[in-house]
Structure 1
Amino acid sequence: MAYQPAADLPASASDNDSEIVVTGSRLRNEAVQSTPIAVSVVGRRQIDDLHGSDIRALGSLIPNLN
């Protein structure tokens, strides 16, 4: 799982909370509602609450994260 700090994201990506696009599951990007797999979403606030220092801490939020 790759983690990219919000500061490195384009402003439009960090401001748009209404749509989540899944990448890497197939050869094309698609909306999470159309993805036939289980998806766990972790928001910026949840990462901030973990102090973003250790990506392994996300394991407490995401079931089956390996």
Structure 2
Amino acid sequence: MEPKRLYKSKTNRVICGVCGGIGEYFGIDPTIVRLLCVLLGCTSTGVILYIIAAIIMPEEY
């Protein structure tokens, strides 16, 4: 069995697929992850974390 990997989603994509990939990885609705991301996005830390995740996370193949 292959271990679970964290990827940017190709199907649940709004901007970069980061929130969709995190939602798929943890088995939760990506909309909930997006709402949390918006709440964190109100701070500069949340924006920086999203940008770093968009750069570091590989694309789903």
Q: Which TM bucket (shorter chain)?
A: under 0.3
Instruction: Give 1 or 2: higher strand fraction.
Output: 1
| RCO higher in structure (CA 8 A, sep ≥6) | 2
Larger radius of gyration between Structure 1 and Structure 2? 1
Instruction: Give 1 or 2: higher helix fraction.
Output: 2
After TM superposition, the score normalised by the length of structure 1 is: 0.23
After TM superposition, the score normalised by the length of structure 2 is: 0.23
